[in-house]
Structure 1
């Protein structure tokens, strides 16, 4: 049900009160793409584990290989190598696609292992460092234990990013009034865009492949001057 309330849009230059007809939010299903991007590290780890299991199960991976024996087959080092390669590829794609969800989750995956590594380094007396040799010893200690924390960090980073994405979805509101439509939302930085009905030049309806499959889409209000067509919240 919609809300029937009075909003003051003097800040937008209307100079009078406007009655709100309904307040809407993006649907959960409309954020599927963002949710999947949020759990990118967890998906990489999961796919690596499946590939490793199938490789061993069907003897595609030679456990007696001297190269694998050197790295202690199944150890965190092997897992680290198998994870870090696709991670950099996904990071590059996320940067190209400007996906904040993937960049955040991947960034957390790289940073979170430093917390236990630094803690155990402090317990081992390597912190604080006193000279250059101490710095090298600290770096060697961190690099030795760093891969062991990658898997739990990937799942934790995915969970934290997923929570952040859901909080962002809940913050977005579409306020439909009798004079126009306001889109507002954001977490650290709030943004509000108000478009009066008399300034709407055209309405664009957009559906992705997932949108056609699950029957959802995006409505884009474009002003008569074609400004603001890139500033909208999907879902």
Structure 2
């Protein structure tokens, strides 16, 4: 298709990637939460740090015991959140970034032969988080979407590039998703549904019941797969302004 054939072109807006940017701040936010908890449970943390002082000194010899305990709590909390993001949102990259960031901080300390302390570690984590946000933004800029009288084209990706083209006669449905931020800032996701149902995910709804009579009981259970929208930058027109107009272009033609 030539450029003149396009009736609409766009890319994801920065505000639609706010959640991706925020995930880069998980290590810093986790340390902040543990530091706040320190003010409310200072005596408890001092008791715990006294018990665990030997282990903490072996792992982080360049930090006071209480600072090492705060850092350990931040590491545990952020890795737990990264694991939850992986399980719930099927996004392993948050966990990968966190593991890389923590290992990179210790590699800097060992290779340079210096004591970073808690403040130095926070500084390096902030630098790694900023670098990760730049990488996420670079990925956002690679995604391009276009609509013409012949169909819809989607392409993008940094490490893994995905290109998708849907001809007009293969479109069975068009779904517009407006998250809370989308309703506030005027962006949304336009999911083009085809017979392959790319752009839709499945959840499993469980149900059950029990009955008893004259001392005898029975339990009956079951479930069914439920289709739901799974909007991702690579499988739909993600995070664009005026999604209703884009939907009308797709359904009614240019």
2:85 aligned to which of 94, 110, 114: 94
Q: Give me the TM-score of the superposition, normalised by structure 1.
A: 0.69
3-state SS of paired residue (1:115): helix
Q: Distance in 2 between matches of 1:168 and 1:199?
A: 28
1:190 aligned to which of 143, 161, 176: 161
Gaps of 5+ in 1: 8-17, 124-143
3-state SS of paired residue (2:164): strand
Q: Give me the TM-score of the superposition, normalised by structure 2.
A: 0.64
Q: Distance in 2 between matches of 1:90 and 1:63?
A: 24
Alignment map for 1:1-235 (pairs within 5 Å): 6=2, 19-52=5-38, 54-55=39-40, 60-62=41-43, 65=46, 67-68=48-49, 71=53, 72=64, 74-75=66-67, 77-96=68-87, 97-120=89-112, 150-223=121-194, 225-230=195-200, 231-232=235-236, 234-235=238-239
Structure 1 position 74, deviation (Å): 4.3
Gaps of 5+ in 2: 54-63, 201-234, 240-254
Structure 1 position 101, deviation (Å): 4.5
> Structure 1 stretch 90-99 or stretch 225-234: which is displaced more?
225-234
Q: Which aligned runs of 4 or more in structure 1 are off by greater than 6 angstroms?
A: 144-148
Structure 1 position 24, deviation (Å): 0.5
Q: Please, what is the CA RMSD of the aligned residues?
A: 3.0
Q: Distance in 1 between matches of 2:106 and 2:152?
A: 46
Structure 1 position 195, deviation (Å): 1.0
Count of aligned pairs between the two proteins: 193
* 1:68/1:38 CA distance change after superposition, 3 Å: closer
